[in-house]
Amino acid sequence: MNIHEYQAKAILKSFGVPVPQGHVAHSPVEAKEIAKSLPGDVFVLKAQIHAGGRGAGHFVGEPASGGVRIVRSAAEAERVACEMMDRVLVTRQTGPSGRLVRRLYVEAGCAIARELYLSLLIDRATRSLVIVASPDGGMDIEDVAARTPERILRVAVDTGLGLMDYQARNLAVGLGLSGRLIQSFAALVRAACNAFARLDAALIEINPLVVTEGGDLLALDAKMGFDDNALFRHADIEELRDENEEDPREVEASRFGLSYVGLDGTIGCMVNGAGLAMATMDIIHAQGEAPANFLDVGGGATRERVTAAFRILLADPQVEGVLVNIFGGIMRCDLIAQAVIAACGEVGLKMPLVVRLAGTNVEEGQAMLEASGLPVTVAQDLGDAARKIVAAVRARRTV
């Protein structure tokens, strides 16, 4: 689960990470009042969407606009907020459809001397928290890594020992910091590590982490993501979820405990087991088409969950055909057949459907599908299923 910048900054501030003063605004008038309350005479208005590249983005119909604006008065803050709120912002991460800006973060400006990069994430290879830092902040870290990999610093943090003082100091020196900034950086990264561990975070990214002309460190931007499987321990974090920023298909799937990720293809997939789901997606690609989703209904899914999963697939406008691939171990094939029949009756089946069942009660499940009167194609194995759904989708396109 991801959260907005203003939420991430509030959390990091509570753990001791220094951030500029700012507040979230839900209207242009509120943006003006916040600017009045902030120190200084330079303010920054930032569109709050779950996507990076906001400053380089543009609002639909205005190619010269951007999702991060500098203003120099409260009146200008109100005027610019009018130009940004309730508009669709397009960035390199949103895709051409963009995201609707429903709120702005109004922040006090600061004089920047240097921009650094800092992030914390889980490295699956070392099974540890890893700190990634670079003296080249304010840029895409992927671009920095591609052009100048030597400027990417990495430190693995031992789970039992935590961040060691020498590691924090070495990072600071590697970033070109000196004097009191070394201790300031060590305190900041230690606070970020504490937040990461305490809140079961999956990502903390501060880009840029700036050194001000006054010699202070400030987290000028912040992203935080959390492990969905640990949210039951953090009800206060779960309340920060903004479903407007999520794929509505994924939101609906989460209500039924389904593992769903929307993709760009046209063949909907419903599978039990993550490994089998990945294999199903791969074999669709091998046949020259692309899956519309990753969908794992789980080994012990109920009829209600399976029906919900099928309903999500059929309601997706980009889906041209559906492949159901079930291995009945814990999951019974007759239960899958019941759910497929129920969902088709509820939503209506207007596209090719190929079902491959194997395992527990497979004969009963196949008999139920054949007796249903639905235009269902039964496949004998995974390769047969992929060939049949691809052929059916392509034939439908030519009609």
170 is in an annotated binding site: no
16 is in an annotated binding site: no
Rounded Cα distance, 6 and 8, in Å = 6
Find all residues with CB under 8 Å of 350, minimum gap 6, and list them: none
356 is in an annotated binding site: no
Segment holding 211, helix H or strand E: strand 201-212
Q: Is 391 helix (H, G, I), strand (E, B) or coil?
A: helix
Residue 213 Cα distances to 208, 221, 386, angstroms: 15, 17, 61
Active-site position among 5, 6, 30, 117: 117
330 is in an annotated binding site: yes
98 is in an annotated binding site: no
268 is in an annotated binding site: no
46 is in an annotated binding site: yes
320 is in an annotated binding site: no
224 is in an annotated binding site: no
Do the beta carbons of residue 114 and residue 216 sit within 8 Å? Answer: no
Rounded Cα distance, 91 and 97, in Å = 9
Find all residues with CB under 8 Å of 386, minimum gap 6, and list them: 280, 283, 284, 286, 287, 323
Do the beta carbons of residue 168 and residue 198 sit within 8 Å? Answer: no
Rounded Cα distance, 267 and 391, in Å = 11
107 is in an annotated binding site: yes
Please confirm, yes or no, whether 6 is among the known catalytic residues: no
- The residue whose two tokens read 């010699």 is 215
207 is in an annotated binding site: yes
Please confirm, yes or no, whether 260 is among the known catalytic residues: no
Q: Token pair of 185, please? A: 């950086």
137 is in an annotated binding site: no
54 is in an annotated binding site: yes
Rounded Cα distance, 227 and 303, in Å = 27
Segment holding 36, helix H or strand E: helix 28-37
Find all residues with CB under 8 Å of 252, minimum gap 6, and list them: 308, 312
Q: Token pair of 21, please? A: 């003063």
Residue 174 Cα distances to 133, 151, 160, 185, angstroms: 9, 9, 25, 12
Q: Token pair of 33, please? A: 């009042």
Active-site position among 205, 252, 289, 320: 205
Binding-site residues from annotation for ATP: 46, 53-55, 107, 110, 115
For the annotated binding site for substrate, the residues are 272, 329-331
Which residues define the annotated binding site? 46, 53-55, 107, 110, 115, 207, 221, 272, 329-331
**Residues labelled catalytic:** 117, 205
List residues forming the annotated binding site for Mg(2+): 207, 221
